[in-house]
Structure 1
Amino acid sequence: MARFVVVELERNSPKWTKVIDEIVRIEKKIFPKHESLARSFDEELKKRNSGLLFSEVDGDGDGHVAGYVMYSWPSSLCASITKLAVKENFRGQGYGEELLKAAIEKCRTRRVHRISLHVDPLRTPAMTLYKKLGFQVDNLIEGYYAPDRHAYRMYLDFESN
């Protein structure tokens, strides 16, 4: 596995455009058009209560995006993982797990009580990862992605102090 670091994309970062462009390419390749945020990534990230972490792979001194996770915390009680994606050639190597762990930690520091997400039940690697990190299935939402594509709503509760 190539060496990588999980980086938070800062709004005023000189890398902003380069990173967003790479993420948009990944988004277009992985997600169907109606599920893709490719057209609105820039706008989504300008919202106050949203964040994006990406894994920067150092292969040639000029890091490239191997994957990303987008999250938001619309209230002080809950947060949500809105996107998690890893380029095909980097899958199964721990990138998704490290990104998800970092996003969970970011949400934990915001003192939310619950993180939720939606996932296609047929995306077995994603389901396995979420369960491994403690997410539980809450409900099946029929027709979430399309009339014939459902989603599990999953959640991870933090213990209250």
Structure 2
Amino acid sequence: MIVELHRSATNYAEVVEETVKLERKLFPKHESLAKSFDEELKKKNSGLLYVDLDGQVVAYVMYSWLSSLSASITKLAVKESCRKRGHGEALLNAAIEKCRTRNIKRISLHVDPLRTPAMNLYKKLGFKIDTFIQGYYSSDRSAYRMYLDFDIE
């Protein structure tokens, strides 16, 4: 079940805590938002959607809208034991839909070219490669910047 996290939610602190644990486990320390997760969520222009499986956060997507025209997927993560079940795709689709309701024209994200499952998912949902950024994550890890444009009807 996909849930949108609201600051007023009774389980807000628990969800943030579980998300931070997952963040620390899945991302290298220098890429992790674990220390600033709560601060990021306090911003009025950011959102978090997560998959609740039996009361546990098993996947999440964090996004922000930088202006009225563009948004960014800042994190997408799925617990290793819950991968290949469609959680990432469902979350990404939900985040895209949230952005559509804000009349956003472009969503962008960064991805390590070596993360083949992530690359395949983004391409499947229509994201295109914009540019290659040498040393984006670290001196020996680069990224593709990808984007999804859509017309607002």
Q: Which runs of 5+ in 2 are unaligned?
A: none
Q: Is the 8 A contact 2:100 2:152 kept in 1?
A: no
Q: Tell me, which stretches of 5 or more residues in structure 1 are unaligned?
A: none
Q: TM-score, normalised by structure 1?
A: 0.93
* Superposition CA RMSD, Å: 0.7
Could you say which residue in structure 1 is the equivalent of 2:42?
46
Q: Deviation string for 1:42-84 (max 9, x for gaps)?
A: 00000110000000113xxxx1111000000010010000000
User: Please, which of 15, 20, 29 is the counterpart of residue 19 of structure 1?
Assistant: 15
SS at match of 1:40: helix
Q: Deviations over 1:74-98 (max 9, x none)?
A: 1001000000000000001100000
2:10 is aligned with what amino acid?
P
Report the TM-score, using the length of structure 2 for normalisation: 0.98
Identity %, equivalent residues = 67
Distance in 2 (alpha carbons) for counterparts of 1:11 and 1:132: 32
Give the 5 Å matches for 1:12-161.
12-58=8-54, 63-161=55-153
Alpha carbons 2:51, 2:60 under 8 Å: kept: yes
Shift of 1:160: 4.3
